[in-house]
Amino acid sequence: MKGHTNLSHFGQHSSAVVLSLVVAAIALVTTLVGDEAIATSVTEMLIRMTLVVGLYIFIGNSGITSFGHVAFSCLGAYAVGWATAEPMFKQIMLSGLPTFLQENQYPFWMAMIGSALLPAVVALLFGLAIMRLNGIAASIATFAFLIIVNSVFANWDSVTAGVSSIIGIPTIVGPWVATGGAIFAILVANLFQTSRFGIMLRACRDDEVAAKASGVRVVRVRLTAFVLSAAVAGVSGGLYAQFLGILAIDAFYLNLTFIALAMLVVGGVGSLTGAVSGVVVVTVIVEVLRFLERGFTLGSTSIALPPGSQEIGLGIIMALILIFRPAGIAGGRELFALTGRKRHSEKLLADASQTATATH
């Protein structure tokens, strides 16, 4: 009996372990290859993986589509920019910052803590209102939040530099640091989805009325996931800031929102495996199309796709994937789990009832 329990416990976490090992292997191969262009693409992919896994924590477990998580990534990026940019630049261009930020340059680890805390606090305040909403109303509210954050940051010149850029941020994020961020996100997502709150939230997603009848506090479990996912999204922004060394508000708006949601949907909204695999697949597709758009020489013939082919090709390939795999590449399953591959509403409701009783 004890052996069965241990196997079941390992089965819950085996997917996250394997995914983490795969991510580490990608970084190792990138390092061994030693190509700077490949290292740049892989680093960007892993940073986006952190964002998409953050999205999964909320969207995958709650069933509510959020268009606002890129705003949390933006908050995390600017938190790092404020903490790590050159003091001379901040005193001249960001005169509205508090003195402790203007006159100091904080280390990487302190800045990354800030990149998680600031989005989490904002998500808590904003989530208290919108987590009472359901379906499309909640989704539109998150989109409104994205617009608000973008408008404020684009016009608050003394704090964010407005439409100009924040420069002088140390560029210390490469493949291995980005790998650490991605693995951190994967482990946090796995711990949440196997926790009491994760079980209760998926029960709400599958049957909210039955979950409420079982004693689940819907707003509380949604808010917990919202805050946690915002913190992870913020970490992705912090990594991005220290990857490029420069921040511009345009980097955190509709384009990134679209690509992050596309990665999650292509991989499969219903599983952590889907979130990770979607990032890898979409990144490979984008890089191949980008290469073909730049063109190459075959013998004496130059071959290149016309401008705009990258976006058109990505849209077509995404549509084909979703036509033949409506639930995404992973099909809503944790492909590496040893047990419990499918999530059944009845079991979730039973588990939710037990956990809700335990928390009262």
- The predicted structure's pLDDT at residue 338: 43
Specify whether the backbone of 342 is left (phi greater than 0), alpha (psi in -120 to 50) or beta: beta
- The predicted structure's pLDDT at residue 232: 98
- The predicted structure's pLDDT at residue 327: 87
Interaxial angle between packed helices 36-62 and 2-33, expressed in degrees from 0 to 180 and rounded to the nearest 10: 150
Give me the tens of pLDDT residue by residue for the chain, a chain 360 residues long.
444 445 445 556 788 999 999 999 999 999 999 889 999 999 999 999 999 999 999 999 999 999 999 999 999 999 999 999 999 999 889 999 999 999 999 999 999 999 999 999 999 999 999 999 988 999 999 999 999 999 999 999 999 999 999 999 999 999 999 999 999 999 999 999 999 999 999 988 888 888 888 888 889 999 999 999 999 999 999 999 999 999 999 999 999 999 999 999 999 998 999 999 999 999 999 998 888 888 777 777 788 888 888 888 888 888 888 898 888 898 888 865 544 444 444 555 555 555 555 555
- The predicted structure's pLDDT at residue 358: 54
Q: Is the CATH number 1.10.4040 carried by domain 2-359?
A: no
Structure tokens at 94: 């960001």
| Distance between CA atoms of residues 333 and 212, nearest Å | 26
- The predicted structure's pLDDT at residue 355: 56
86 in Cβ contact with 60 (< 8 Å): no
Q: Does residue 303 sit in helix, strand or coil? A: strand
How many Cβ atoms are within 10 Å of 205's Cβ, its own excluded?
Answer: 22
Enumerate the domain spans of the chain.
2-359
| Distance between CA atoms of residues 229 and 69, nearest Å | 8
Measured torsion, CA atoms of residues 17, 18, 20, 21, in degrees rounded to the nearest 10: 120
E strand or H helix that includes residue 113: helix 108-130
| Distance between CA atoms of residues 185 and 72, nearest Å | 15
Q: Does residue 301 sit in helix, strand or coil? A: strand
219 in Cβ contact with 198 (< 8 Å): no
Cα 315 to Cα 246, 279, 281, 320, distances in angstroms: 29, 15, 13, 9
pTM for the model stands at 0.90
- The predicted structure's pLDDT at residue 11: 57
Tell me phi and psi for residue 248, to 5 degrees: -135, 140
Of 3, 4, 1, the C-alpha closest to 339 is 4
Q: Which amino acid is located at 127 in the chain?
A: G
